[in-house]
Amino acid sequence: MGRGRGRAEAVPEATGAEGRSHRQGPLAVRVDSGTAELKPDRDRPRAWQLLLDGAPQSLVDLDDPTHLGFEYQRRIGHLIDLAAPPGRPITVLHLGGGALTLPRYVAATRPRSRQQVAEIDTALTELVRTELPLERGWQIKVRGADARAVLERAPEGGADLVVADVFSGARVPAHCATVEFAALAARALAPGGRLVVNVTDGSSLAFARAQTATLLAVFPEVCLVADPAVLRGRRFGNLILVAGTAPLPLEELGRKVASDAALGRVEHGRALADFTAGAAAVTDDSAVPSPAPPPGVFH
């Protein structure tokens, strides 16, 4: 999960010392938006999990930036893979940065890609740049500003992919979950480009249903990817929404989701319309944040 709120100021281009972190043990640091913890992964010698106020945000393997340890990030990774022919550079706008796991994945799988990241927590970005540095030569620029503010200034038609992984704490902020926000993303996309949105919800799935209706109000093509248990409201979890003006790669995406160790289902068309259950699109005047995770969900 990325971060959406905090103080706004520019951050220089995020480059580092060839990904060579020398940290051996866990670290906890106070950043703008809470307490950031870096915990070593038990299975990978140079992999680190980032938590913010106890909520898992990112997993980075400095030896293998193509490793996506969280299931929701693997699903976004599938969409990065399907954004263009293999290896071709793309232009990506990431709204929410965290430990920059997805920008690392793009840089490693699509060399020479141009990427901009909106991460408002500048202290978090500085921590990540110091402890989990990026490889030299990766074209990743991080801006310390609100995600929607960056989206408002994005060049028209400039992005092949807009990835909205914006969280304030463990909740999607209201101003990044509206028709107006989706319209800004549509404006930023190049012809054939796609918007990918990570949301969290559970139980009645009221927020996820409303977000689906919101994207359907702006884009002609929308699909959703999630664990069947999450879709049935049996557990709190991530849902990935994909939107575009051109037909989506549903068959290829379905194959990739089916090949993952975590169960997943792709909903589209009538099934997706049924999922919305009559929910209304959300505007700036009616927006609310996503629901807070239930107690103990991260333990």
Domain 27-276 has CATH 3.40.50.150: yes
Please name the residue that has the structure tokens 């490793």.
Answer: 67
**Residue tagged 């520019």 (tokens):** 10
* CA-based nearest residue to 179, from 214, 209, 149: 214
Q: How far is CA 224 from the centre of its chain?
A: 14
Supply the pLDDT for residue 1: 56
pLDDT at position 25, please? 82
Strand partners, 190: none
- Residues with Cβ < 8 Å from 244, sequence gap 6 or more? 189, 192, 193, 194, 195, 219, 221
DSSP codes joined into one string, 206-242: HHHHHHHHHHHTT-SEEEEEE-HHHHTTSS-EEEEEE
pLDDT score for 7: 31
Residue 161 near residue 193 (C-beta atoms within 8 A): yes
| Residue spans of the chain under pLDDT 50 | 4-19
Rounded to 5 degrees, what angle do the CA atoms 42, 74, 167 make?
90
* Integer angstrom CA distances of residue 117 from 18, 32, 110, 145, 224: 19, 17, 16, 9, 23
Condensed to tens digits (0 to 9), the pLDDT of residues 82-98 reads 999 999 999 999 999 99
Residue 17 confidence (pLDDT): 42
Bin 36: left if φ > 0, else alpha if -120 < ψ < 50, else beta.
beta
List of residues 6+ apart from 131 with CB closer than 8 A: 21, 23, 27, 38, 48
The whole-number pLDDT of residue 24 equals: 72
Is 33:121 a contact under the CB 8 Å cutoff? yes
Structure token digits, residue 142: 């991080």
What letter would DSSP give residue 197? Answer: E
Helices and strands, number each (H, E), in the chain? 9, 12
Q: Which two tokens stand for residue 109?
A: 């799988």
Q: Which DSSP state fits 112?
A: T
pTM of the model: 0.92
Amino acid identity of residue 136, one-letter, is R
